[in-house]
Structure 1
């Protein structure tokens, strides 16, 4: 429907407009022009004046006035309707098919989609049209049901945390064909199929075939939000900084966004750790930024998200790749001063420096820092207490990495029995396979076995080993070897110890016994052992044969949920398959690490949707139907009244003759101006601030804080208007129309209640405004903060609205708060209430905490609370949306479904009444605690 279009309930009456020219001729002919006759006696009448005169011709402006009156009657009787819904003979008669992309991008305006769906289903229900649903993110054959049946299920619909794939589009086409062969095809005998496609605004391959199939069955209308789609790609670590890239679907004007880094503090509490402002330049679809954080803080981050974008695509989860691991390096000897290349730790430091934090010091001094990895390079014996401390640390998941050397080869450690800090038993003396004292040649490395963590790594032919420590033959030796030489002797062995492990390289960490530390393979082997951070995804070959268990998964709104009993995912599917119902985005735990599978990948882009010119594309907002017939008939009555007055004036029966024409013209001009000027139009459309303050000071006026968001401010005003009407009809309070206040300029002391809806984009007030707000709170005023996010967040959660509330309230003088207790006066100021829902329910409402000495007296139903009114009330149930009414007193926004929804709206009104009565009367009901003393005095 074209916005602002006008329809008619009786369009055939408009044919009467063709009679207007005939009416013009008739009006011009009445009264008839007099015939001129020369009569000599007329000379006797010259100079005389007759008070009563009749014109010989109707003035043109009076003719126009009468023509307009008749036209208004004709058009008004034709039943004009502004923004009409389809009805009558042109209304669709066949079944309706609702097609939803229902992807993560749909989450940004999901509530608007559900609201429009509810309106469409209500119309279909009135016309007795069956409805079917087809969700492209979870394609199933559409089944026809009654519209009211679908309306009851709308609350259970949620967007998927992934996008429809070409395979899903093909499955949706097959499901449509199946339905057309069944019940849907049988229902098409009553008319064509009307399709309403709810698009998420993104273009995807494989959609054209489904669209063509739907067009062959009937009309297709697309509903798509104009709000931009913004996503965040996985983070990349470069030069020690976190590189972030945001995407948007459509290039346009410059736009600023904020990236938030969420994680846990040292006490384990979830909180916002850092923010990064970014900017989309003009005509740019990407925005880049770098975040430099200390390693300790970076390790605590669990997710990055675009502030204000409640979608899974605007969230990127972090895994072990982001954490800069702490590695402690301890060498058995450091006696080669000046010979850096011969140092046992030189090559380890070079390999680990870019990707890990290196710790130095004695072993017992390092263990309290709980490093991720401890490296012992040619350490044969440990000091007393070090072995027990190492075992405790490994039981908690630590990785002990050991390298051989002359000292380890010459020691008797792990000879006769297995040492708990060694993966295998060792032979004495070591083995030399190359050099002046050996007849053999240096040995090369054998390919890594499939069950080794080094599987699929290329083995350079120039990597050779000239000496090593040998492992004693043992029944468990074969299963602990993860790398070996070409002659089959072990090169790297590994053993599990508690939740941790110990790994032994049978060669030195420097180039004395092998050229391995000189090669890039050495760095790759350290990454595979998780000694250093592996930024990139594991290779497909490495993932084959592994199973990854989901730990936490994302929903379509970007919220993390426990995976519960979801089955494990094969490693090769985890990194290669597209996301879907059986592979949701989230955190997956594998044998040695955690891996994050995000909605967006590094190479992904966002493309805006394009539709054929034959497909109408509408938004998600629908203007309400407005009948205009009554207004036009009223206008016709006013015009006819003006005609009577003008006719009397022209005949001299209304005012003296000399002023007849001028006064009639002036009166007509005033009347026409009052009729045709828009409502509220005057020389001064907006009253000056003094008039507004005078009205607020002389009457009870509820006020809302202007946020700068026109839609939100209009909703707040309509909500307070609805609450004021409820107070007028149910209580002795008779509020005037609500007023929007500017915190920077308006006087707040004259308003008993300020409703403050919180939005992430609103600016912070100035210091002067905060000073006025604190004065207002201290002098008995109340502020109702409404974050409007109870459907997606709890109190204290890190939602964008909740974070903005913390920033807004920080400079305010707010006392300690607590959830509304059962005996608070808000629960019985006018109505008896136990909860305080708005458009949403379930979130606690916070008020000023009771004083510590508030004790309950025997026989009294509640405690002796202080007599002060709580200065602030904080919640997120979106009360203004539940209170809001239009100009005719009808609810503007839906609340819940059916009777339950209207019951929830009624409770919202009752909470508003209790709140205003509490503001105006204080805790007067708490004075019942003084009843015994008053009765005692009366008795005396």
Structure 2
């Protein structure tokens, strides 16, 4: 043990003088003569002064002062060292994904080794082996003292990508002149990586090299392969004993987070078939930290925009083609219905077309959309059977995957010798692989394909007699799929079986992935922007600005600029996992002499342990002194319990001082600053746009007023406390839902003077492309039960129109939409409207991206309209913060008139009512 301030120990020499001083303070007793002993006996002393300080009190005070002196001397407990610390120490700390299992131990070991050298007056150089998020290697760090080293290490966290030992070797070559007298200690993760040989060669000039290793079998990496079945492997280093781990199936929620759903067991080193792969978006090993214990899947996570092409007569209830398709698609994904002219402007990924003829212009539009990457799923029917009797040419033939024979094939019935056919098992290289074919699914009529040499290449499903049921063909960058039967029950019983929605789900979720793989060798794929990144806690978070888009998923491995996560946006995201395109795990060759972990222990400061009991003893002395003076009663047993309790805090305080991370604040961040909030919809595109909109409005307000708002946040009613937010922006989409807890939270928010700005986001407008019925229905359902007062149209007489800016219109991204506020009972009402409802899509007009630009256009007046949208938002915030404080402006003319009349009637300028 040593003292960082040993000169303060000289104060211990003052303790004998303090002993003499305390004993001399009590006054000496003196004799007093009284005239009568009777008077003396009748006297009862109110206060008794001791002749000298009691010994126990004197020892208590000396002990407290001794502890204070020792605490201010900053004693330090130095662990026993097996060897002399080097004067020049080079520490190599692996901070990649393989260092996550023992990360805290690595930091403590680095601190212990570094502070031993610094305490002896040596020099420490710390190098990290993993690039930062921007792809650049961190510069070597040379701390000046122990505090600087501890602060640097406490701010480090492991990365989710592998290290770059080739770049580390180049840094070591720059230190080659100092390596001859230096001792190099590598805190290695034990995993072989490219560049190991280069690093070993760079360390060759070092005076001495040690390699500290942690248990190698704690390194586990999960991988998933999909061939005919989905299989998982918990990979370890060679010759590690088998362990049984718990495997958790995860699903992707609408807010972008993963939630556990199912569990299974998995043995390390053995590949296992995963149960129900279609019901999971990810698999996780809870006992394995970091991205090595999680695998993200495509499958259901691929949410694509689907359109259902409507033709005349196919929406008949219970019998129409759209009826069966709509029932099947409701359980799969949201979809939009309409004509081709209304679907194509919405940029769908998949269009499902029933039997029917298209005009020449529609055929060209449909074919052009497919060739640009669209997926067309067609169904046969009488109309297509009549068309196949003629020789179809041009665009009509291009929209069929295979040439068809004339007429349709009749299987069973009074005019046929055959019987209905069943479905054959699905091939392994099709989206339907693994689906179970039910016995009750039979086909009675179908369209036959013309026999060609390459027909088998286009067949995805067949009947038991070998005739095609589903065919597909690549057309440009898109894909055309044809069911040779109708989606109704008049040609087959397939739509009545449970197999039909399963087949449609496979087409919607897996076909786009297969289609992109098929065309990757023929046409360059678009770059996939990062959507969600997996951090070291296995949580999906928005990507930082340093993450780069992925140009091609095939061959892409995890690195600093492309970490583990989903790429491709919210509508179409592809997973990039840690094990993708990586070799099997292997042991890293030793860089020097192998040293087991746990030998280096950091220094332990003792002054916090001494300071607390010293202050406690001083407090006990104060209480005992007050008790002896008679100010209040304080028993000896209570004093004894207090002293034992203060001394017993020492182990707790010792455990607390070992923690380097600061305690989290119990106060919510929203309570420390004023900020806006928006209700999260679950749609990432809408939530991101609203977040950008409120960021832009906050910036506009902070630049033009003395009010300072902090960054806005997204909230979920019923889960987050809404009491901290003066204004709540609520975007309404067709998928808006509100549970009982959220409804109660919003009701309480309105009743306690909260204000909600409800925006239908331009539903039913020309920019939206729908009639807005679904959005209005969702609005009525979501606001049912909320204390919304009777509403009226906002005009330029309302306080909201002149709170700060004078406004006559209240546009957003769309102009001409009405805005509704609470109807006031009379013009003198001071009530503030708790709800403002509009359809102007203000968030997209306010939105500002990371470059300070406006990513969304406003129509029809451009930037002048955007300025009015900002001013409306400005007024709304001031209105929410101050209420109807400007409502008195309408009385100004009357007040001025009275003042002028007072000047005219009274010569001295005073009102007559004030005259004596």
Q: TM-score, normalised by structure 1?
A: 0.40
Q: TM-score, normalised by structure 2?
A: 0.41
